[in-house]
Amino acid sequence: MISKLILIALGPVLAFVLPFAHGGPNDIEVQLDDGTKQILKKIGCYKDKPFPNRALRDLYHNHRWDIDWSQWPDMTHVISACASWAKRKNYNDKFGVQFYGECWADADSSRFNDHGLATNCINGVGEHWSNFVYSMKGVCPPLKMNLVFLIDNSGSINDTEFDNFKEFAKKLAESFTISATYTHVAAVYFNTLANFGFNLKYDINVIKTAIDNLPNIGGGTHIGKALTYTLDNVFKVAPRQNVKNVLVVLTDGKSHDSVTLPAAAVRNYGPGVEVFAVGVGAGDSFVAQLNVIASDPDEDHVFHVEHFSQIESTTGAVEDEICKDTVHRTQEGHRTPDIEHRTKYFEHRISDTGQRT
């Protein structure tokens, strides 16, 4: 139970901030200036570029002048202000906090990931040329879902890197309502061969322990074979066949066998399996293979990072996509027309001292 509310003055905006409220590991709860409570989902830290290549193109509010630096490192008053103004401006999907106090959004919120993940965010806000992105969509409702992880443990992955994959899986799993009625979780790990980690379970503590106990064996990378194994031994024999099916593939390299037909077979099984591909590594051909594995549109289902240390930071974005109603997904390649930038002069950055740079 939360026993204390913190009231913070935000210039024209007042907000109650509940920084440690209930919800998943990617959630914070705020009470906006209109008195409503809002769950914000932490999507993560993403790169930005100058106009005309801004990821989120509308600086709809600038809170830099009202930052209470005495509260550092707690920046929840800034996040809350951006959320309140986002609602006022009818940005009801995503917004980003950049340069400690700038609030950015876009009519096409899928643009937030146009330039990939960044590493220069701190305390829930972006620094120079980075947005810490939040979703206004709120807590994911309980989903009747089979959530299956297909985890690479080939020879190129050391124990620390494999632990990064396991932390990702645990954090994503505990983002959902795990119960007999709602989400069940299973895991398969693969190298040259595919192996059962554990079959569908619905006790989060048992699931997290089972993920921790997955072994790092080593060997080749045969994703195609692993996809077929997962289809035959998890999805086809799952006791619940009328629920949402989701597969999250975690890998660090190109497959030694073909993935095209096995991936299509998984995606097209029954009412369909929504497949997400999360890859660590470099190379256009690697990303192209992730696109072949994942469901369409690729921009919603493929997450690519350069380093294992970044993998856990993608859980918020993956969770957000899983929670989406598929009929509302943006069509592949869609971009809404450019919007008029009311504050385009902020193309010239403002320094910490308030001077243009």
pLDDT tens-digit map of 136-145: 877 788 999 9
- pLDDT tens string 102-142: 999 999 998 998 998 898 999 999 999 999 999 987 778 89
- pLDDT tens string 180-218: 999 999 999 999 999 999 999 999 999 999 999 999 999
Q: Is the pLDDT of residue 51 over 80?
A: yes
Helix, strand, coil percentages (3-state) for the chain, rounded to 5, are 30, 30, 45
- Average the pLDDT over 57-74 and give the result: 94
Q: Specify burial of residue 50 (Cβ count, 10 A radius: 0-12, 13-18, 19+).
A: exposed
pTM of the model: 0.75
At residue 229, the pLDDT reads 98
Instruction: Cite the DSSP H helix spans in the chain.
Output: 76-88, 159-173, 204-212, 223-230, 260-267, 284-293, 298-301, 315-323
Mean pLDDT value across the chain: 84
**Where residue 28 falls among pLDDT bands split at 50, 70, 90?**
confident
At residue 7, the pLDDT reads 28
Q: What domains can you pick out in the chain, each with its CATH number?
A: 27-135 (no CATH), 145-325 (3.40.50.410)
Q: Locate 117 and state its tokens.
A: 């993940």
**Where residue 23 falls among pLDDT bands split at 50, 70, 90?**
low
Q: Is the pLDDT of residue 98 over 50?
A: yes
Please indicate whether residue 76 or residue 37 has the higher confidence score (pLDDT): 76
Interaxial angle between packed helices 260-267 and 223-230, expressed in degrees from 0 to 180 and rounded to the nearest 10 = 20
Which of 276, 269, 316 lies closest to 297 in space, CA to CA? 276
Q: Locate 12 and state its tokens.
A: 């024209």
